[in-house]
């Protein structure tokens, strides 16, 4: 079900309206249009669409007050109208043809709160040069809005596709975790990146005061590994929920993790396989749309690891931060010789046949593959091979942003710090 708000709905005959009017899948639709003479046209356009509300207001940064709106009297449907008279003059409208209309103004936040809006699939803004002002004033962090489309052509004056106001808005949107792209020649599409849930799985074995187990490099310590994950969490604002699952009794590792302020879920599986199954079931029980990162207790992370991993999931759905050395040394991979190099916003990626039980996935994909994960459990290679047979590809970053800390399996050129 779709929930949307359109600021500057006009007569309801734009590209968005042509799509919406063909669906009945509308849970909430709010059309905001300041000009009363356009309302009959708008009602006619949406007459067959359920759950539509029309607000005859102008969205402003000034709050609830009467405002002067300027319209082109030569245009029967006043396609060019604005709170800024200069905007019409810059479009070569003769001043004698510009009419003043008094309209009711209101902040966007006030209108949304009136309808108890908390989340939206879409917010559309097209208000002839006032778009940036509205979005800069709007308290976006108060709501979850998955996609925003706004006209940027006149952001810093008529026909100026750039300038300090637009730059300030883009900085704001990026800081709120929006990914921005050009939708068409006049509009920007801003999509909210999914947040990341982390499910960490560990135990208190391998006490640093005891001899290292075979295969561990000199100086290995699970506390150091967790610290690098903790550091990556602190460096990435888009982590939502963190689940720390410790199998067995309390001990040195869990004591350290608790000292950092994390709450721990203790389970008494005393089994690598059973604890992994618990984590997969935990992921299935979480009721949100966030991406998921499963991580084991012997992984080292770079400071930007979670940003890269979540960027990968957002682009490719199935990733890991670990560039596995096996993918460069084995010749029995079922995808051997068939790999691809890809580019996300900030990183290179390669497809890979498989990895370990430390991997990240979108919620949508996890819902489709969690049955396979629970069947294969520690058979990680076979798990990813089965996904490959479904044409689901794993992507790993180049260079790696995390590594399994085992001799012979450190990611190529990985630097510990």
**Beta-bridge mates of residue 354:** none
For residue 282, pLDDT over 70 is answered with yes
pLDDT tier for residue 265 given thresholds of 50, 70 and 90: very high
pLDDT of 305: 97
Structure confidence at residue 190 (pLDDT): 94
CATH code given to domain 2-192: 3.40.50.150
pLDDT tens by residue, 115-174: 999 999 999 998 877 899 999 999 999 999 999 999 887 676 655 667 788 999 999 998
Number of H-type helices and E-type strands within the chain: 13, 22
Q: Which CATH number fits domain 196-404: 1.10.10.10, 3.90.550.10, 3.20.20.70, 3.10.129.10?
A: 3.90.550.10
- Checking if the pLDDT of 47 tops 60, the result is yes
Which tens digit of pLDDT belongs to each residue from 15-45? 777 777 667 789 999 999 888 888 898 999 8
Residue 214 CB partners (closer than 8 Å, separation 6+): none
CA distances from 161 to 132, 157, 391 (A): 12, 9, 41
Residue range(s) occupied by CATH 3.90.550.10 in the chain? 196-404
Whole-angstrom distance, CA of residue 147 vs CA of residue 16: 13
pLDDT (0 to 100) of residue 82: 66
Q: How many CB atoms lie within 10 A of CB 388?
A: 19
Q: What is the reported pLDDT for 313?
A: 96
Peptide bond into 399 cis (omega under 30): yes
Confidence of residue 64 (pLDDT cuts 50, 70, 90): confident
The reported pLDDT for the residue numbered 269 is: 97
Residue-wise pLDDT for 318-371, tens only, equals 999 999 999 999 999 999 999 999 999 889 999 999 999 999 999 999 999 999
pLDDT at 224 over 60: yes
Give tens-digit pLDDT for 174-220: 888 898 988 887 889 999 888 999 999 999 999 999 999 999 999 99
Cα 242 versus chain centre, distance: 17
Distance CA 194, CA 345 (A): 15
Where in the sequence of the chain do the CATH 3.40.50.150 domains occur? 2-192
Higher-pLDDT residue of 268, 238: 268
DSSP string, 166-234: HHHHHHHHHHTTEEEEE-SSSEEEEEEPPPEEEEEEEES-S-TTSPPPTTPPTT--HHHHHHHHHHHHH
Give the torsion sign (CA, 235, 241, 246, 251).
positive
Measuring CA to CA, how many Å separate 205 from each of 112, 129, 149, 273, 280?
Answer: 52, 62, 51, 15, 22
Greater pLDDT, 151 or 398 = 398
Over residues 79-121, the pLDDT tens digits come to 666 666 666 677 667 767 666 777 788 999 999 999 999 999 9
For the chain, what is the mean pLDDT? 90
Encode pLDDT of 371-383 as tens digits. Answer: 999 999 999 999 9
Summarize pLDDT for 68-77 with one digit per residue, the tens: 666 766 765 5
CA dist 142 to 80, 178, 404, Å?
31, 14, 39
């Amino acid at each position: 079900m779709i929930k949307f708000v359109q600021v500057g709905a006009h007569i309801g005959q734009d590209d968005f309206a042509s799509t919406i009017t063909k669906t009945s899948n509308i849970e909430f639709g709010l059309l905001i249009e300041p000009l009363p003479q356009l309302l009959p046209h708008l009602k006619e356009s949406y007459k067959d669409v359920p759950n539509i509300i029309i607000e005859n207001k102008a969205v402003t940064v000034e709050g609830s007050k009467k405002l002067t709106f300027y319209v082109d009297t030569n245009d029967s449907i006043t396609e060019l109208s604005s709170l800024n008279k200069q905007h019409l003059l810059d479009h070569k409208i003769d001043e004698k043809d510009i009419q003043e209309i008094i309209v009711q103004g209101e902040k966007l936040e006030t209108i949304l709160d009136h309808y108890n809006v908390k989340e939206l699939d879409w917010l559309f803004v097209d208000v002839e040069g006032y778009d940036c002002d509205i979005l800069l004033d709007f308290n976006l962090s108060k709501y979850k809005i998955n996609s925003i489309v706004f006209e940027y052509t006149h952001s810093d004056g008529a026909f100026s596709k750039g300038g300090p106001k637009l730059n300030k808005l883009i900085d704001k949107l990026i800081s709120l975790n929006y990914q921005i792209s050009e939708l068409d020649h006049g509009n920007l599409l801003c999509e909210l990146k999914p947040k990341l849930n982390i499910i960490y799985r560990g135990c208190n074995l391998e006490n640093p005061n005891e001899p290292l187990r075979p295969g561990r490099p000199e100086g290995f310590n699970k506390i150091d590994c967790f610290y690098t994950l903790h550091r990556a969490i602190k460096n990435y604002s888009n982590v939502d929920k963190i689940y720390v699952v410790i199998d067995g009794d309390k001990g040195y590792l869990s004591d350290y993790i608790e000292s950092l302020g994390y709450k721990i879920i203790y389970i008494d599986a005393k089994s690598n396989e059973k604890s992994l199954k618990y984590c997969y079931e935990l992921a299935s029980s979480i009721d949100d749309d966030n991406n998921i990162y499963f991580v084991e207790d012997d992984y080292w992370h770079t400071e930007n690891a979670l940003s890269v991993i979540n960027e990968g999931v957002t682009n490719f759905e199935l990733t890991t931060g670990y560039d596995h050395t096996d993918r460069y040394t084995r010749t029995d991979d079922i995808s051997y010789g068939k790999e691809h190099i890809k580019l996300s916003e900030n990183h290179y990626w390669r497809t890979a046949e498989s990895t370990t039980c430390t991997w990240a996935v979108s919620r949508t994909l996890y819902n489709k593959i969690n049955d396979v994960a629970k069947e294969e459990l520690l058979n990680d290679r076979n798990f990813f091979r089965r996904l490959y047979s479904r044409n689901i590809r794993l992507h790993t970053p180049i260079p790696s942003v995390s590594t399994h800390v085992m001799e012979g399996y450190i990611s190529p050129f990985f630097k510990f710090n």
